[in-house]
């Protein structure tokens, strides 16, 4: 059953986050049809909360097609490219610490 296709959030066919555009690309369906079906589910009593929560979960776990990182991993790392930036921590050497209370006592 594995045909080599992977599910990604679409970066070109998106309205909010590209989840429904990615689903329509994966199944080779019309993206308008997928969006209309989702809206019907989102406004159906009894299913609406589940449909909205499912969209939020899919938005968090399905990776984007241009970066390969999921929204959750991008949010967790704090950088849009998944934390692979060249930012490093600065380390300060040879620093002498002084007690602030000693300075106030002297004068």
Q: What is the pLDDT of residues 45-58, one digit of tens each?
A: 988 889 889 888 98
The predicted-structure confidence for 3-28, as pLDDT tens digits, reads as follows 677 877 877 777 888 888 888 888 88
Say what the pLDDT of residue 1 is: 53
Identity of the highest mean pLDDT range in 15-19, 27-31, 81-85: 27-31
DSSP 94: S
- Angle of helix 19-27 versus helix 48-61 axis, rounded to 10: 80
pTM of the model: 0.56
| Cα distance between residue 97 and residue 87, in whole Å | 27
Domain ranges of the chain: 1-83
* The token pair that represents 89 in the structure block: 């921590």
């Amino acid at each position: 059953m594995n045909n080599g296709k992977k599910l990604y959030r679409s970066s070109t066919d998106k309205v909010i986050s590209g989840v429904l555009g990615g689903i329509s690309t994966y199944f080779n369906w019309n993206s308008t049809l997928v969006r209309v079906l989702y809206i019907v589910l989102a406004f159906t009593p009894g299913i609406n909360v589940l449909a909205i929560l499912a969209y939020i979960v899919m938005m968090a776990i399905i990776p984007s097609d241009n970066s390969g990182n999921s929204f959750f991993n991008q949010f967790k790392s704090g950088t849009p490219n998944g934390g692979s930036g060249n930012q490093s921590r600065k380390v300060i050497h040879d620093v002498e610490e002084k007690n602030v209370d000693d300075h106030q006592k002297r004068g």
